[in-house]
Structure 1
Amino acid sequence: MRSTVGILVSLGRGGCQVPEEKRSKHGFSYNPWDPTCKLLGGTFLFANPEKDFDLPESALANKTKSMWSWDSVDEKSMVTDIYLALQSALDLVHKAHDGGISPILCGIGITSSDVPIIFELIKRHGVLSNAEAFAFQNKFRVVDLSQLTLASFNHANYFLYPKSKNVILGKYLANKKFESGKTVWDLYEEENYNGIKDRVMDEVLSTHQCYMLIKQDFDKFKALELVDKRRAKELRKAQEVEL
């Protein structure tokens, strides 16, 4: 069986610095096109779902790659490193599948944070042209757990709203809870870079655990569905016999 690479991404608020006067109490404060905002970096887990997903946490951590502003010449250099890491994963997957399968960007809430941040910065810093960045982004697929996990929750009406990180953690990892990503601003101002690294790594590994548990839930749902189909089939046969 050919290999596939899934990429679990942790970036977004946990890896961004926003000037104090632009920090909002609610919503997303960081803007990749605002020159006063700064991407601090992030951690990527490059994992093959057929080989790597059952590895112990320490082995998974060894499969991560991190890029940080304090280790880079400037933001453009760091964004270029992120681009090259994604391009490497893309090349690996396309080569394994003759271009028929795309690598997956996976995380919690990444469709409204991590993914647009990465690709907007790639454009802003001229790593790729706008047209090239669009084509590059379109070669990936995105699995956002904040949306995927909706099937695992009860809903009072037809309003389906993406679940937050801590809501998902509360369901699948009861003893795990992350403070607001805005606490990273304090860590950065205190130059507590190891604190930022540890937090982001913890988020990546927790995201991986949630992914696995959500998949297990879906397997249970399908097993129950199969039981219902068998019962319905047996009932139809019984009714036909009676006739």
Structure 2
Amino acid sequence: MKFKREVTHVIFFDIEYYVPKEYRNRPGLKANPYLDGSFVIGGVFQRYFPIEDKLEEKEEFWIWDMEGRDTMEQEKNLLEKIYLYFRESWTRWELLGGGPRLTEPMVAGFGITRLDVPVLFIKSLVHRIAEPERLYDTYFKLRHFDLSVASAPLIPENKDRKVLSPVSQNWAVKNLFGDGERKPSGTTVWELYDEEEYQSIMERTRGEVELARRVYQELRKIRNGLPGRP
């Protein structure tokens, strides 16, 4: 792996996904991009250049800001904007990178390998945002740094010490920062959307991205043998 100033970067991001009421009592992961009536609500994205310790401004894309005759058309326009955001990262890598071993753009967040990245890929595939091979390259050639996995070896297991598994965001934050306050489940977003509490959704998602950045930096401190907790 090779890194380069002003090119190597991490995208902290979090998307929100709507699940219709009839599917909300399903066991396990509720979100499924092939279920009728489900759609991407939107998300918050922020590029971070770790070599320079430089953050870009957050960018947000929300379905209620999109034009369209219905939710499907609005979702398509939303996914096009998100796709172009990621393509911009690839363009930087391709034009400014140089050298075949330069590490690809990275993405970081909690549960992104289980939900966020697959949902963006599949929904973009359904809406034909780009050719399938182009979509695959855009979303799956990114370097995925899932914080629920990266945090696991550093967090004590409170159920079965024989099992090593991804940890929840709440459990990671509690142990990394000593913060015992539990954040509400992401499923609350569905009710907020039903009630048209859009501002609350935006604020919650911004907080998720900020928290991902803090956890990433805390894990880097631990990796480098530096004192933890700011």
The reply to whether TM is greater than 0.5 is yes
More helix by share: 1
Q: Greater CA radius of gyration, 1 or 2?
A: 1
Shift of 1:175: 5.1
Distance in 2 separating the partners of 1:125 and 1:179: 31
Shift of 1:185: 1.3
Query: RMSD in angstroms over aligned alpha carbons?
Result: 1.9
Match of 1:171 in 2: 175
Shift of 1:157: 4.2
Taking the TM superposition and a 5 Å limit, the aligned residue runs for 1:1-243 are 2-3=5-6, 4-11=8-15, 15-24=16-25, 26-52=27-53, 63-73=57-67, 74-98=74-98, 100-154=102-156, 157-173=161-177, 174=179, 176-220=181-225
SS of the residue corresponding to residue 40 of structure 1 reads strand
1:114-163, Cα deviation, whole Å (9 max, x unpaired): 11011111111101232222233343110011111122124564421101
- Runs of 4+ more than 6 Å apart: none
SS of the residue corresponding to residue 171 of structure 1 reads helix
Distance in 1 separating the partners of 2:138 and 2:111: 21
Contact 2:192 2:198 in 1 (8 A): yes
Contact 1:184 1:196 in 2 (8 A): yes
Q: What TM-score, normalized by structure 1, do the two folds share?
A: 0.80
Contact 2:90 2:138 in 1 (8 A): no
Shift of 1:51: 2.3
Distance in 2 separating the partners of 1:65 and 1:124: 24
Distance in 1 separating the partners of 2:26 and 2:169: 17
Distance in 2 separating the partners of 1:67 and 1:119: 16
Counting aligned pairs with the same residue, the percent is 27
Contact 1:5 1:93 in 2 (8 A): no
SS of the residue corresponding to residue 134 of structure 2 reads helix
Unaligned runs of 5+ in 2: 68-73
Contact 2:5 2:51 in 1 (8 A): no
1:176-196, Cα deviation, whole Å (9 max, x unpaired): 531011111121111111100
Give the letter for the 1:39 counterpart.
Answer: V
SS of the residue corresponding to residue 144 of structure 2 reads strand
1:185-238, Cα deviation, whole Å (9 max, x unpaired): 1211111111000000011001110111111112228xxxxxxxxxxxxxxxxx
SS of the residue corresponding to residue 201 of structure 1 reads helix
Contact 2:155 2:172 in 1 (8 A): no
